[in-house]
């Protein structure tokens, strides 16, 4: 499965991308995370549904220092285009 998520709140400048990368690695997911110009963070992850459910829960909690107001997400078909989980810079 693929999870595409946009995280809203105070999520830039609080190590959210690094937190997201570490969570994805721990769960064996592939994909990416990046800051968007509007102040949100985008995360796209692929892997087993149970791992993605845990990942989504962790995104909703965020790291200490962040404030997650909401997470807009959608489930998609696995695309198989990622080899690892990385932080992208735009």
Residues assigned a catalytic role: 17, 35
The 3-state DSSP class for residue 45 equals strand
**∠ Cα 59 88 82 (to 5°):** 80
Which positions ≥6 away from 4 have C-beta within 8 Å? 42, 43, 44, 73, 74, 76
């Amino acid at each position: 499965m693929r999870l595409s998520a946009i995280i809203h709140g105070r999520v830039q400048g609080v190590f959210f991308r690094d937190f997201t990368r570490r969570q994805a690695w721990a769960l064996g997911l592939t994909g990416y995370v990046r800051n968007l110009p509007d102040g949100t963070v985008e995360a796209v992850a692929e892997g087993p549904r149970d791992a993605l459910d845990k990942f989504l829960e962790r995104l909703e909690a965020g790291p200490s220092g962040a404030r997650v107001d909401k997470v807009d997400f959608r489930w998609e078909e696995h695309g198989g285009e990622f080899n690892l989980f990385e932080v992208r810079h735009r």
